[in-house]
Each structure stands twice: as C-alpha cells, then as structure tokens.
Structure 1
Amino acid sequence: MKMADVYRYLADGGVPQPKSDAPPELTSKVDTVLGIVAWAGTAAGVAGVLITGAMMAMSMRRGEGSEHMGRLGMVLGGCVLVATAGPLVNFVF
C-alpha cells in the first residue's frame, strides 16, 4: 500500500480492511497457543497476588516492616497488562 492510499483512506474516514491469507489450520493453532498463553498469564497473576498477600500476612504477624506494597503494585500492574493485551491487539488489528 502506498502512502497516497493511506492518506486517501484517512481523508475519507474509512479504515482499510486487510484480507487474511493465512491457512485456517495455522490460524486455529495460533489461536490455541495464544489462548493457552493468556490462561497461563492469568494464572500467574492470581498466584502472584496470593503469594504476595501471604508474604504480607507473615511479615505482619512477625511484626516486621512491610515493603510488600511495591511488590503488590508490580504484580497488579502485570495483571493489568495481561488483561488488556488481548483487547489492545484486537483493537489494533
């Protein structure tokens, strides 16, 4: 696609709709792998929150200072990234 075509689409307000030339067998396998990776990411996020919560509870019981809030923030940030990755990719492509 030439840049002139891109500018024409932008001026018309239309969005180009590319055609998929991938074979259906490959597409279904890629979808399966991406689904497994998405579930693994979700499971890792849940496990991270549970482990961080358990570590916070143990340190509170021992009377130690808690520096786990930063870790909890990082885990929750990762959860947000995993949760929004799929919709962002669908929006862009």
Structure 2
Amino acid sequence: MYRYLADGGVPDPSPNAPDALTNKVDTVLGIVAWAGTAAGVAGVLITGAMMSISMRRGEGSEHMGRLGMVLGGCVLVAAAGPLVNFVFV
C-alpha cells in the first residue's frame, strides 16, 4: 500500500542496512570529518603564517583572497554533517 503525504500520514521508512555496516560507515565519516576540520585549521594557520611573513618582508600579496577561500572551505566542512543529517536522517 502506498502512503502519500496528502493523507496526513508521515512515511517512516525502516533502515535496511546491517548494523555492522552502518557502524563502519559512521566511523569512516567521522574520520573524514575530523580530517576536514584539521585541514581547515592547518589552512588558516598556513595562510596566517604566509601573511605575517609577507608583511615582514614588505611584500603585498592577495592573502585575504586565500583566507576567504580557506574560511569558505571551513564553512562547507562544518555544514556538511548537519546537512547530511537533515537530508538522510
């Protein structure tokens, strides 16, 4: 029997994946999330170091654009987990 949202009921599908598989996938996703966070922190630190070195030398360069890209990547990594939870859970 098909269930539609128009009848006022909310479908509640049951997961078909085995528990062992979901635990492994959760572990891998957790590791990837931590690696993305570490890469973002390292990117901010490296960009800050490059900015300070170029300021010390008196060179002008476009580090703010790099910093913006790194911070944008950090926002994407931070938002990925809640978005996936919202869509799939």
TM-score by length of 1: 0.86
Superposed counterparts of 1:50-61, under 5 Å: 50-61=45-56
**Could you say what the CA RMSD is over the residues aligned between the two structures, in angstroms?**
1.7
Gaps of 5+ in 2: none
Gaps of 5+ in 1: none
Superposed counterparts of 1:1-93, under 5 Å: 5=3, 8-9=4-5, 11-12=6-7, 14-93=9-88
TM-score by length of 2: 0.90
- CA distance in structure 1 between the partners assigned to 2:29 and 2:73 by the alignment: 17
How many residue pairs are counted as aligned between the two chains? 88
Q: Secondary structure at the match of 2:14?
A: coil
The answer (yes or no) to whether the contact 1:60–1:66 under 8 Å persists in 2 is no
The answer (yes or no) to whether the contact 1:45–1:76 under 8 Å persists in 2 is yes
Deviations 1:9-56 (A, max 9, x none): 1x3555422210100000000000000000000000000000000000
